[in-house]
Amino acid sequence: MGNLLHNAGVCLEYYRELIREGQLRVGDGEAARCLSPLFERSVAVGEEVSLAELYPRPSPHRVFNNSLELLRGGWPTPLLKISEGPGEAYAKLEWFNPFSASVKDRTVYYLLKSVEGDRIVEVSSGNVAVALAALGNVLGKRVKIYIPTAGRYVVPLLNYLGAEWQILDVSMTVEALEHLEKDIREGAVHPNQFGNDLNFVAHLKTAAEIDWQLAALGKKPDYIIAGIGTSGHASALGFYFGVRYGTKLVAVQPRDWIPGIRRVETGMKWIKLVEAEIVDISLEEALRGVREFAKRHGLLIGPSAGAVYSAYLKNSYRGVTVLVFPDSLFKYTPLLEQLSV
């Protein structure tokens, strides 16, 4: 299930055709295997699937029967017009996801739905940890998280959610992966946000959601600006909109360190599938972006969102630009105190 994009990218070809044409006749078992996780149902050979099925179905009255319904019925997350440059810009506010208040609810929802077993182990220094602990509770799975030192600030949240955790003396999430092996040998399942293609697939749906929102305004994006950690959301958005409209992807990496995002050369799977302009942003610039956004719009965006916003302000983007803001500033207050910036 996690290796959808292997086999010489067969699945990508089906996704490409679906996105380009808006529909696709499922020709064989391979196509059905690739499309089923995207559509979250068993897609049958011979049926015609439509991109429109991936569009959100928001709850008009915002009354929900349980917290999973709150996640899915809460989509689309807001798209906020923030135009400041020569073109039009919209910010996708992903902290409106209810579990981790971040874009990672989407990834984790897809990952957890696919894994069997009731014990989960993962490495994360932030939003994935919180989303896994929270959704694990809802789906009846026990969760253990290994946390690199920089991710200490999520520990109180994991404690309240009742997840197990262990801090590791490593600086990056990827370096901690080897510590999982013992748990895996003892029967825990590792969803693997860094390698599981469902991370990418989850965000093809995020892309369809943004497409649906912009289409209501009669628009399509010329640029997507997004930060890269696993590269799941930036790559999927870049892929979807690149195929559909020739949209350009601007991928934001930290010059030094920014929570949630990493430099491309530290190794990430999906960014290789798309063409992207890579932009370096320092922590100082990212936090200046946070301040600037707060001053202009009154909203406290997270540091990686600040990096995305800072990348946007550096350039005069024409046409329509979509900026993805993965989370808000609230869970970073312990970090901000340490940084004294």
Q: Which spans of this chain sit near ligand PLP (rule: CB under 6 A)?
A: 102, 104, 126-128, 227-234, 260-261, 302, 304, 326-327
Residue 234 vs residues 80, 190, 238, 269, 323: alpha-carbon distances, Å:
18, 23, 6, 12, 10
Q: Which residues pair with 93 in a beta bridge?
A: 325
Closest CB 332 distance from ligand PLP, rounded Å:
9
Element (H, E) at 4: none
Report residue 150 CA to chain centroid gap: 20
Closest CB 92 distance from ligand PLP, rounded Å:
12
Which one, 26 or 111, has the nearer CB to ligand PLP? 111
Closest CB 223 distance from ligand PLP, rounded Å:
17
Residue of 303, 259, 286 lying closest to 126 (CA atoms): 259
* DSSP H stretches of helix in 91-217: 104-114, 127-139, 155-161, 181-185, 198-216
Which one, 31 or 126, has the nearer CB to ligand PLP? 126
Main-chain phi, psi angles of 57, to 5 degrees: -125, 80
Residue of 183, 145, 199, 182 lying closest to 2 (CA atoms): 199
Which one, 49 or 268, has the nearer CB to ligand PLP? 268
Which one, 107 or 213, has the nearer CB to ligand PLP? 107
Closest CB 151 distance from ligand PLP, rounded Å:
10
Which one, 76 or 232, has the nearer CB to ligand PLP? 232
Closest CB 63 distance from ligand PLP, rounded Å:
29
> Which tokens belong to 30?
């391979």
In this structure, the dihedral spanned by the alpha carbons of residues 54, 60, 62 and 67, taken in order and rounded to 10 degrees, is -30
Residue nearest ligand PLP (C-beta atom): 260
Closest CB 286 distance from ligand PLP, rounded Å:
10
Which one, 10 or 172, has the nearer CB to ligand PLP? 172
Task: Please enumerate in sequence order all residues whose Cβ is within 8 A of that of 135, keeping only pairs 6 or more positions apart, or say none.
Answer: 99, 105, 108, 109, 112
Which one, 26 or 101, has the nearer CB to ligand PLP? 101
Closest CB 104 distance from ligand PLP, rounded Å:
5
Closest CB 8 distance from ligand PLP, rounded Å:
24
First vs last C-alpha separation in the chain: 44
At 170, the amino acid letter reads V
* Residue 278 CB neighbours (<10 A): 14
Based on the number of CB atoms within 10 Å of its own CB, is 248 exposed (0-12), middle (13-18) or buried (19 or more)? buried
At which residue do the structure tokens 């406290």 appear? 300
Which one, 74 or 229, has the nearer CB to ligand PLP? 229
